[in-house]
A and B are shown apart, each in its own frame.
Chain A
Amino acid sequence: MRRFAPAAALLLAAAALSPAQTLKGIQAEFAEVGEATIPATVIVRSPDAKDPRIWGSSGVILNAAGYVLSDADATLFRFDNDEEGKPTVKVHGRTARIRLPAPDHRVFDAVVVKRDPETDTTLLRITDPPPKDLPVIPPGSSDRLTVGSFTVVVGNAFGTGREGEPALSLGIVSGLLPAGKGTAGKYQTIYTSAAVNPGNNGGPCVNAEGRLVGIISTFEADPKSPFRALGIVTPIDRIRARYRDVKDFTSIFPEPEPGKPASRAAALLEEAFRIAARAAGPSLVGITIDRGDETGAYTVRRPVRTPRGVQVMDVSLQRYLGPYSGVVVSREGHILTSSMNLWGFEKIKSVTVHLPDGRALPAKVLGRDLLHYLAMLKVESAGLTPLPPAGPAEMVVGRIALAMGRPFEGGGPPAPLMSFGIIGGLDRHVREMFPEAHAIHTDAALNDALVGGALVTIDGKLLGINLLVNPDTYGRRSGIGFAVPLAGLEKSLARLRRGRDLRPAWMGLGLEAGKDGKGIVFVNVKPDGPAGKAGIRSGDILLSADGRAAKEFATIQDFVVYVRGKGAGAVLTLVVDRAGEEKTFRFALGARPGS
């Protein structure tokens, strides 16, 4: 059974073989991590859970003597659901069955050594058959992690390990919650951007060297948490301290060996992420908003998976209430964020900006650009650190993009919240959102708390302001994230600084395709809307807008995009065909009432 070569030896070999800091080098490094970690990631189930369809938890083999770490629910054998799918009965057993992944498939019986709900872990010991030729994951230190460190998550996501090998996903440490009083280790919780799904719980989170830095607990589902949609990992140094009273402690949780070969490609990138976070950190601020008694609860109608199949129903959702992220763009205290964070605008009583040094300052909303989803805030403080912008030529598809924010009060943890991806595309416009600018598309994991924060290049320059396009449509972990690039928006930014809003233009009418599917016909013209007041009537056919012939607009949507993008207050000249007669109208565009 030589396939279980000691993991540490494998890793040393990897370090020697691939010193090149290249794409090929980095992928060889992570393949070595996978090879060492996957065989030691097991399925843990209660022996009383007979139904093979129950996935069970993931687990980690800690040493050759057969000690296994899993989540606190690994020995759960009854987990019944009521009509609405809520769990009703939980019974934790004293024994577990542990299965090694394919192609090994061996099954062992194990007993619970200690269960620790505090860290969401259970320590198990294999009893039968006696452990032999077990692959293990070498110990690491979570205290040495920083925001930006690579994390590899392995586990039985969606039950993968029942049949084949457990699945591996790569991410970075996005957030680190400092340990509270009485907690061992530096950190309370590690948040990772790696894909954590049902079935990953109890499985390993290893660093770029394949060393165990934590145990997967779950993913953050709380809509009020700034870490929403990220994976929750319990740091190994915190776990280790909770098991000091266990016999054989030192052999189960040996001290990790220090040192890291600096030539590794992964180490280079981690270091670069840290430098970028350090450089951008002083420019990232938290924003809290007082909306009085506004709860942020709302409902949408959509398909939902229930015990009785997929049903369309009203789903109660919760808006994110803050803290939000913002970016310092001037030494004099100008702060840019997303206008999306200022939802319920008329209810807003006050806005507070939380600087990285812990100061909380009252902020004034200078202006909102609802066309590009930007808002400019101003605080009275001199000597802030603006983030230097990236030029248009620096926006290149394939470049590394780091999404950063500081959605914390009182300064929060020293490092910003961060996720890593690449510039995936430079979209012309996202629906009608960006009629004049290119939206940057990124696969860096975004959540509500990063909206309004910065998308940053690896050399610490501001690419744009983070934006999620309707997360209820595109999903909270869809990899469909955007940033509003500031290059090209200088005019709008200047307007915002002068305290003037920019709203999408509104004509007050409907549009329909002509009889043969071509052309644009005005319908449902509101008599008191800007177009109606100017004299446009339902049935008029568009001939040209501002001198652009109707046929230049390939679709109705193109025309909408053009008009909206002019902004409320701009003047539009329309030439229409009314029953064969050509008529010209020139009028000021309005803003949609209530926008």
Chain B
Amino acid sequence: MRRLAQTAAAVWILALLPVPLAPGGEPAGGKTPSRFTEEERKVIDRALRFERELVRLAEKVRARSVTIENWRTVGGALRLAGGGSGVIISSKGYILTNQHVANGAKRLVVVLADHRRVEARVVGRDQRGDVALLRIEARRIKYASPLRARPSRLRPGQWVVATGNPFFLAADGEAIISLGVVSGLGRISGGEYFYASSIQHDAEINPGNSGGPLWDVTGKLLGINGRIASNRVGGALGPNSSGVGYTIPVDQIRAYLEEMLEGRQRPKHGDELLGIQVVTAHDERGEPVGVRVTKVVPGSPAATARPHGVRVGDVIWKINVSGRPREVPTATAYYNLMSKLEEGKKVTLHIRRTDEKTKRTRSILIAGIELVDTSSGRRKGRGR
């Protein structure tokens, strides 16, 4: 999977002459050519009513989408080095985008739907989760509340629309909209950025759509797009859509909006706090049976647990959270569960441990591990 950051190759398509668009308005619904039968015309008129809903939706969501230009110093001069898309989430000019869109910028310029170009600054960021909060000083802006949608209630097959600036083709800031459906939920993807419980959808998104919003058909903000899976390495501008896009759900982001507004770090998620990395463990028939520990961070709650710490090779198959047992047959299930836990929660791990010498497997229980931040930076902070 690759990120959707725009590359420098697109520089020369930008900054187009602001010519007013053709007047919009309702599609001509009532008048259809006489080449249709009466029955057919009834169907067409009903379809046109359906279409008007789409047009209204498009108007609403495009007005709230922005293009973000990432200017960097290249060879001594300030150049447009990349960027992506974003969404305005308050009347005060706060904008959500991806961290990888805003990353390393000397200057950030937001292009609004009405073609205004406004300087932006980074207010907060979630480095690992690939989210950045920007702010612009601009009046008369339309925004989408991040508090309305409940992405956890989405179902595969539900229609969604994505807005953004694929390949920076909409250089004036007017977002391009694409239509699709939810393909799946609870997707995990790792790498430099970590996406947990992300939404997979088939609305076309491409390099440049990064940080741009995904909406439901009532115009509620579902999240921000950040990644695609692609079955080939693309041409000059990188990979392109294969109908497999991933969105960071907005409910994850709103859990730490306050921290971002105040410029603080996002509180660590349970999977970061516990201090282990895992992969799916399969039995000899290929059935997923739990998660095998591949790394234990020294000094972490997992390593220092009593009576004994978690070891590399342990297979965790069940985790009790606040007394509730939850099976974790796959790494996806593990990360989806743990990434929802906050600091201070206690977990009990059900482990199958195989003795290296005797090859005998026994079940062990490590109870009441408290999820606390033991990273060195945090400890220093406490000491002061």
Contacts and interface: CB of A to CB of B under 8 A. Distances in A.
B169 A441 contact: yes
Contacts of A438: 21-22
A432 to B, nearest CB: 9
B321 interface: no
Interface in B8-23: 12-17, 19, 21-23
B332 A479 contact: no
Nearest to B283: A107
B182 to A, nearest CB: 7
A396 B169 contact: no
Contact of B233 (A310, A397, A479): A310
Q: Which interface class (under 10, 10 to 19, 20 to 34, 35 or more) fits B?
A: 35 or more
Given A24-B217, A170-B181, A197-B231, A457 B286 contact: no
A429 B174 CA distance: 12
A21 B50 contact: yes
Nearest to B40: A275
Interface in A430-445: 430-431, 438, 441, 443
Which of A397, A400, A443, A479 has the largest count of B CB atoms less than 10 A from its CB? A479
Nearest to B288: A105
Contacts of B314: none
B36 A279 contact: yes
A22 to B, nearest CB: 6
A269 B15 CA distance: 39
Contacts of A28: 158
Nearest to B327: A103
A554 B17 contact: yes
Contact of B183 (A167, A304, A441, A458): A167
B286 A52 contact: yes
Nearest to A128: B285
Contacts of B206: 474-475, 478-480
B46 interface: yes
B301 to A, nearest CB: 25
A134 B359 CA distance: 36
A172 interface: no
Instruction: Label chain B's interface by main secondary structure.
Output: loop
B5 interface: no
B122 interface: no
Contacts of B62: 397
Contacts of A300: 235
Contacts of A368: none
A391 B156 contact: no
Interface in A545-572: 553-555, 557-558, 561
Contact of B35 (A22, A102, A279): A279
Contacts of B35: 279, 460
Given A97-B285, A303-B233, A478-B241, A160 B200 contact: yes
Interface stretch (B53-61, B139-147, B252-260, B267-275): B53-61
Contacts of B203: 443
A561 B229 contact: no
Given A167-B200, A168-B156, A22 B178 contact: no
Nearest to B209: A479
Contacts of B188: 163-164
Nearest to B206: A478
Most chain B C-beta atoms within 10 Å of own C-beta, residue among A388, A480, A555: A480
A135 to B, nearest CB: 14
Contacts of A165: 156, 184-186
A102 B166 CA distance: 33
A405 B282 CA distance: 49
Contacts of A392: 22-23
Given A30-B157, A441-B176, A393 B169 contact: no
Given A168-B183, A475-B235, A427 B57 contact: no
Nearest to B329: A105
A493 to B, nearest CB: 18
Q: For A23, A107, A392, which residue has the most chain B Cβ atoms within 10 angstroms?
A: A23
A472 B233 CA distance: 11
A393 B28 contact: yes
A422 interface: yes
B174 A479 contact: no
A190 interface: no
Given A105-B329, A160-B200, 19 more contacts: A21-B49, A23-B159, A32-B157, A52-B282, A97-B286, A99-B287, A157-B183, A157-B244, A162-B280, A163-B333, A194-B202, A272-B43, A305-B233, A400-B47, A421-B178, A424-B177, A458-B48, A478-B240, A557-B16
6 contacts: A26-B50, A52-B280, A473-B234, A475-B232, A487-B22, A554-B17
Please name the 6 residue pairs, one residue from A and one from B, whose CB atoms are nearest each other, closest first. A479-B204, A195-B243, A398-B58, A475-B240, A34-B157, A272-B47
Interface of A: 21-24, 26-35, 38, 45, 47, 52, 97, 99, 102-103, 105-107, 109, 152, 157-158, 160, 162-170, 194-195, 197-198, 265, 268-269, 271-272, 275-276, 279, 300, 302-305, 310, 388, 391-400, 421-422, 424-431, 438, 441, 443, 457-461, 470, 472-475, 477-480, 487, 517, 553-555, 557-558, 561
